[in-house]
Structure 1
Amino acid sequence: MTGVATAVSWLWLGMVLAISFLEAPLKFRAPGLDLRTGLAIGRLVFRALNAVEVVLAVVLSAALAVGDESRAAVVAASVAVAVLAVQLVAVRPALSRRSDAVLAGAEGPRSHAHLWYVGLEVVKVLGLIVAGVLLL
């Protein structure tokens, strides 16, 4: 199962890097794309990403549970899984409330939840890198 865990770690990492750190920020620099449209697209993209992440987290956890990988690899992968859970349960609802308000036409200060989400993404990326390297 080491091969499955390794592949899932790197696949998950690639998806997070491509969407969270490339697509998301670049989308708001596209000419003619207003904030409301960017948020609407972002909601769809992140909903899909998070659904795939949940599947990958389950597969990774199952592969590690039946395998004999190092304790350090299991801990690193567990960090990534735990961070995803925190993002989905604690941070995403706040982001959804804010994007709902903006999409409804409200204005106001930026949500601090976005900063929490990005910070957690960095921790998740580090966990996936460490897990992936240790599983190689």
Structure 2
Amino acid sequence: MGATAAAVVFCWLGMVLAISFIEAPLKFQAPGITLQLGLGIGRLVFRALNAVEIALASLVMLAVALDPPGPVPLTALGVSIAVLAVQSLLVRPLLRRRSDAVLAGTVEPAGGMRERSHAHYVYAGLEVVKVAALLAAGIALQVGSFAG
């Protein structure tokens, strides 16, 4: 089961890296992209990513419940899941309200498309923490599966 949990964690990690650190920043560099289009794409992509992350976190929790690992992977998984919960329940709603306001024209970023809200920086910082925790969890689970 440790190998299964590790595989799910590495899948989760890959999705976060691909979307948050590759797709999200690059979409605004595409020719002809507008703020409205970029925000719309971002909202769809991150809503889908969030749903998949919740599913993967659930699978990992099931796998570790069936075959509990040691304290290192459990702690790293706990951090990953806690970060996901904070992002989902607290930060994404703030970002959604901000993008609603920008799309409605009631808030205009002073620096154009590249200006970010404070919630965006919080989300990005949490993504870095989540990536580190997922990497630690995946490695610890994989090492544990070789040891067991």
Fold in common (TM above 0.5): yes
The alpha-carbon deviation at position 122 of structure 1 amounts to: 0.3
Q: Aligned Cα RMSD in Å?
A: 1.0
The alpha-carbon deviation at position 4 of structure 1 amounts to: 1.6
Matches within 5 A, 1:1-136: 1-106=1-106, 107-108=108-109, 110-136=116-142
The alpha-carbon deviation at position 68 of structure 1 amounts to: 3.0
**What do residues 80-118 of structure 1 show as CA deviations (whole Å, max 9, x unaligned)?**
011000001110010000000111123145410000000
- 1:88 is matched by which residue type in structure 2? S
- 3-state secondary structure, aligned to 1:69: coil
- 1:78 is matched by which residue type in structure 2? G
Q: In the aligned structure 2, how far is the partner of 1:18 from the partner of 1:108?
A: 26
Larger Rg: 2
Q: Unpaired runs of 5+ in structure 2?
A: 111-115, 143-148
- 3-state secondary structure, aligned to 1:94: helix
**What do residues 12-53 of structure 1 show as CA deviations (whole Å, max 9, x unaligned)?**
000000000000000011111011100000000000000000
- 3-state secondary structure, aligned to 2:97: helix
Q: In the aligned structure 2, how far is the partner of 1:93 from the partner of 1:3?
A: 34
Aligned length, in residue pairs:
136
The structure 1 segments of at least 4 consecutive aligned residues displaced by more than 6 Å after TM superposition are: none
Structure 2 length as normaliser, TM-score? 0.89
The alpha-carbon deviation at position 66 of structure 1 amounts to: 1.6
- 2:15 is matched by which residue type in structure 1? M
- 2:122 is matched by which residue type in structure 1? W
Identity %: 60
Q: In the aligned structure 2, how far is the partner of 1:51 from the partner of 1:4?
A: 20
